[in-house]
Amino acid sequence: MIDNALLQKKSNYKKLNLRQKTLLYIVVSVAFLLIILIWGGFMDKNSYGVDFTVRNNPPSLKHIFGTDWMGRDMLTRTIKGLSTSLIIGVVASLVSCVFAVIIGSACAIFGKKLINFFYGLLIYFKVCLILYCWY
């Protein structure tokens, strides 16, 4: 028989409020991304290199995602690709933040003329893209 006390007991997750659940999701997501970055960073070239002896293998315990036509392990290639993409994304975000701070500070110092210049520059690039797509 099922004990009623066990059915009435709430899980720890259900006891959390929305702010705590959001914090839990953020911590789990950051931990997942850090694991991918660390795993991809310490991966040697032999782990995702070419090995024609194991080409086109289906998923197994040795190769969880299988291998491709050149014998490369698809799991290690996926982790390495994710790690590279995350590094590129973080670097691009940092560079754009630096540019934003520089442009924002310059606009605060030099005023309305520089702000209008950057607005015009944005509109110019949009028009160039529209014209490029049009023709």
* pLDDT digit string, tens, across residues 33-84: 999 999 998 988 888 889 899 999 999 999 999 999 999 999 999 999 999 9
Model confidence over 94-105: pLDDT tens digits? 999 999 999 999
Q: How many alpha carbons fall within 13 Å on the CB side of residue 28?
A: 6
pLDDT (0 to 100) of residue 46:
82
8 Å CB contact between 67 and 58: no
pTM of the full predicted structure? 0.71
Separation of alpha carbons 47 and 54, rounded Å: 13
Quickly tell me which residue has 């299988």 as its tokens.
Answer: 66
Our CA dihedral for 53, 58, 59, 60, rounded to 10 degrees, sits at -60
Positive or negative, the CA dihedral 63, 66, 71, 73 is: negative
Q: Where are the domains of the chain?
A: 16-110
Which of residues 134 and 71 earns the better pLDDT score?
Answer: 71
3-state helix, strand, coil in the chain (%, to 5): 75, 0, 25
pLDDT beyond 90 at 16:
no
Distance CA 86, CA 117 (A): 33
Cα 65–Cα 42–Cα 63 angle in degrees, nearest 5: 15
- Whole-number pLDDT of residue 14: 81
DSSP for 53-73, written as a single string: GGTTPPS-SSSTT-B-TT--B
Opening angle at CA 100, ends 95 and 106, nearest 5: 130
